[in-house]
A = this chain, B = another copy of it.
């Protein structure tokens, strides 16, 4: 079966070689390229056939000529099918958060045993999101903190008719389509429903929010009712 193609982006030559050797020993992988900075990996990808693009990129964060986060963002935009796993010493929240925002699907600390790194790459390839345990704890805290922010925003706004709290998940979905300017017919197509179903949902939404027009629906969704 075909080997998992990996590219390594790491400014330390020693680590580059070490990772490359480690992955090449394992018959599951093929290291297709080694790069020292963000610029060079992007230039290389831009010149490749789609065929030869790596499945996975191991990305350091601290590098010259475009750091790992900015590089991740650009690569994910251009080549969304490539999975990127950050491989770094950083544990601070902002680097973690910036990496995930940039589109990284894994975040592993460099000091993990190599076997763990290999297993992580396999998990990534299989659709998982390997994260070093201490990082995972921080990631959960990020979500927990953001929900605290959401709570405080709600308390602040004191918006008594915020659709978020009144409407069901499906209704919100439909409301968002309506806000974008969709007609019953076009919304039905987008969501694989009957136009009649869309219409009934919209009627229910209007009833729950005590409104009668699209304009009011849009304002309600945008918190301007």
Contacts and interface: CB of A to CB of B under 8 A. Distances in A.
A40 to B, nearest CB: 26
Contact of A143 (B139, B182, B183, B215): B139
A129 B137 contact: yes
Given A130-B133, A133-B123, A133-B129, A219 B179 contact: yes
Interface stretch (A19-27, A48-56, A99-107): A99-107
Contacts of A136: 128-131, 136
Contact of A222 (B104, B133, B144, B224): B224
Interface residues of A, number: 43
A223 to B, nearest CB: 9
Q: Is the interface of A mostly helix, strand, loop or mixed?
A: helix
A146 B211 CA distance: 28
A185 interface: no
Interface in A105-142: 105, 123, 126-131, 133-134, 136-137, 139-140, 142
Counting every copy of the chain, the complex holds 2
A64 interface: no
Given A146-B146, A181-B213, A215-B181, A133 B140 contact: no
Interface string A81-104: 000000000000010010011011
12 contacts: A97-B143, A100-B140, A101-B143, A123-B133, A128-B133, A128-B137, A129-B140, A142-B143, A179-B219, A181-B214, A218-B218, A218-B222
